[in-house]
């Protein structure tokens, strides 16, 4: 179809490079969003030894709170603040009412009780907001593309998500390595009895950690809610991806969650554009597109399987 000739070839090459860079940025944005969700999950596991399936519900709570506040006030900043506050409050409430009864239980009980919480959260939200998706608009001052060095046009909003995510990741590392709360979190990870002996109010610490994780997930929900739609059930697919992230990165580790998130984000996004191209090398285009797209949905799970074969405790996990 294309005419032979050098200029067009080079133009194609340039287009491909630009497309690739765009996709890498998309992957980063996806990864950063996953990190916000996975960080809380992995902290809660590391400190309290709890597997929380309802973490995705907190993601959803953040998104709905943001959509409701944005709808009422028109302010995106207020909407983000609301997502943090609502998810943190929901997290603290659930921790005090239900979750703290589960710390001493086995994983099966934790799974079931938090599964029950998903049902309650999802149906409760459906009852409050109805079954139709809500929309959260990107504010005008964050919409539209920006031109990156090299002439690449990229949506400002997505770039902002990457920046927010990286800032929060940095903040979380500082929090854990430098502050008194961080010291307590680390102590809690290694030895629960010791921090009790240090006179730290454990149940308060647990509530704070849980609410912190919830707030991050809620913020992620709000940020993503402006790209996708805000609806019941939006949290669980993200929750499961966050699990994949944690399995890859190693459980209980914020660093593992960050590297794992970025790996998963990039693998998924690049897999979706590259795999169909790879199959086009030896199959007809339409078959290649369909097989490539189907396999691309599996790419991150294959990555997870590969990590399990090489290092069952995750890339940064302690040796078994």
Q: Which residues bind another protein (CB under 8 A)?
A: 45, 51, 98, 101, 107-109, 111-113, 115-120, 122-124, 126-127, 236-237, 240, 243-244, 246-247, 251, 290, 293-294, 296-298, 301, 304-305, 308-309, 312-313
Residue 14 vs 116, nearer CB to another protein: 116
Q: What is the dihedral of CA 154, 156, 161, 165, to 10 degrees?
A: 80
SS3 assignment, position 283: coil
- Which two tokens mark 308? 């399990």
CB of 22 to another protein, least distance (A): 22
> Which parts of the chain fold into alpha helices (H)?
6-48, 55-73, 76-97, 107-129, 156-178, 180-190, 192-197, 202-225, 235-249, 254-280, 285-296, 299-310
Minimal distance in Å, beta carbon 44 to another protein?
A: 11
**In the complex, minimum distance from the CB of residue 9 to another protein, in angstroms, rounded to a whole number:** 32
- By beta-carbon proximity to another protein, the closer residue of 105 and 178 is 105
- Tokens describing residue 5: 């000739």
Considering the complex, what minimum distance in angstroms separates the CB of residue 294 from another protein?
5
φ/ψ of residue 298, rounded to 5: -95, -5
Pick the closer one to another protein by CB: 181 or 293. 293
Of 223 and 264, which CB lies nearer to another protein in the complex structure?
Answer: 264
- Closer to another protein by Cβ: residue 9 or 312: 312
Q: Report the distance separating Cα 75 and Cα 78, nearest Å.
A: 5
Which two tokens mark 100? 């703290």
Tell me the closest approach of the beta carbon of residue 37 to another protein, in angstroms: 13
Burial-class residue 81 by CB neighbours within 10 Å (0-12, 13-18, 19+): middle
Q: Report the nearest approach of another protein to the CB of residue 251 (Å).
A: 7
Q: Which is nearer to another protein, 80 or 90 (CB)?
A: 90
């Amino acid at each position: 179809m294309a005419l032979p000739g050098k200029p067009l070839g080079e133009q194609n090459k340039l287009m491909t490079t630009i497309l690739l860079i765009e996709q890498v940025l998309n992957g980063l944005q996806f990864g950063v969003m996953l990190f916000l969700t996975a960080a809380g999950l992995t902290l809660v596991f590391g400190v309290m030894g709890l597997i929380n399936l309802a973490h995705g519900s907190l993601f959803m709570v953040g998104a709905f709170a943001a959509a409701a506040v944005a709808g009422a006030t028109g302010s995106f900043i207020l909407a983000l603040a609301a997502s943090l506050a609502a998810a943190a409050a929901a997290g603290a409430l659930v921790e005090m009412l239900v979750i703290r009864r589960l710390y001493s239980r086995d994983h099966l009980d934790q799974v079931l009780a938090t599964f029950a919480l998903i049902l309650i959260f999802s149906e409760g939200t459906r009852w409050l907001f109805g079954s139709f998706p809500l929309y959260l608009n990107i504010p005008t001052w964050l919409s539209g593309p920006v031109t990156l060095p090299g002439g690449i046009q990229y949506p400002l909003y997505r770039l902002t998500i990457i920046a927010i995510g990286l800032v929060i990741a940095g903040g979380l590392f500082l929090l854990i390595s430098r502050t008194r709360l961080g010291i307590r979190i680390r102590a809690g990870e290694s030895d629960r009895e010791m921090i009790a002996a240090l006179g730290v109010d454990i149940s308060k610490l647990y509530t704070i950690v849980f609410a912190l994780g919830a707030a991050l997930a809620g913020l992620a929900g709000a940020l993503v809610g402006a790209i996708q739609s805000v609806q019941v059930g939006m949290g669980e697919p993200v929750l499961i991806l966050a699990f994949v992230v944690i399995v890859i990165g190693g459980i209980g580790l914020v660093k593992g969650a960050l590297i794992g998130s970025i790996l998963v984000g990039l693998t998924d996004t690049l897999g979706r554009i590259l795999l169909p191209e790879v199959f086009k090398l030896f199959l007809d285009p339409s078959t290649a597109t369909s097989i490539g797209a189907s396999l691309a949905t599996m790419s991150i799970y294959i990555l997870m399987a590969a990590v399990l074969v090489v290092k069952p405790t995750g890339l940064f996990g302690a040796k078994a």
